[in-house]
Amino acid sequence: MWHYVNAVIFKTGLLPINGIKIILLRWFGAKIGKDVTIKPCVNIKYPWFLTIGNHTWVGENVWIDSLVMITIGSNVCLSQGALLLTGSHNYKKSTFDLITGSLVLEDGVWIGANAIVNQGITIGSHAVLTSGSVATKNLDAYAVYQGNPAVRVRSRTIS
């Protein structure tokens, strides 16, 4: 059933009403905080593996590939086209076994446009992954990361 709801309501811009999206996500098992915004054309694999804190923004064309648990804190921004990936494949095996790892985005994190967060990653509080960057390891709190693979380029100071 979720597959059809996701295709008709979330992955398209046919129903841009945020409140209905939040209700549907909760019906399918997601834990969603208050004042969460989910923009059009967002793809969510399995909402029952999704927790989102308060005041979080999910931009257009974000893909939340929740094969296993994804925990997104409060005051998080997922910019347009960001990918949160919980699965990959073991290319070293002829059976190409599925590899999964949960994701944690702590409070205040900003994932830039078209950035990718790979499986098994924790992004520390208020860290930034800049546009087009790829997180392949945990990111420290209050730091800015850039590149592929993402490397720390500076501290993040909030005034």
List the pLDDT tens digit at each of the 159 positions of the chain: 888 888 888 888 777 788 889 999 999 999 999 999 999 999 999 999 999 999 999 999 999 999 999 999 999 999 999 999 999 999 999 999 999 999 999 999 999 999 999 999 999 999 999 999 999 999 999 999 999 999 999 999 998
The first and second tokens of residue 36, run together, are 């969460």
Q: What is the C-alpha to C-alpha distance for residues 60 and 136, in angstroms, rounded to an integer?
A: 23
The β-bridge relationship of strands 151-155 and 143-146 is antiparallel
Query: Can you give the pTM of this predicted structure?
Result: 0.93
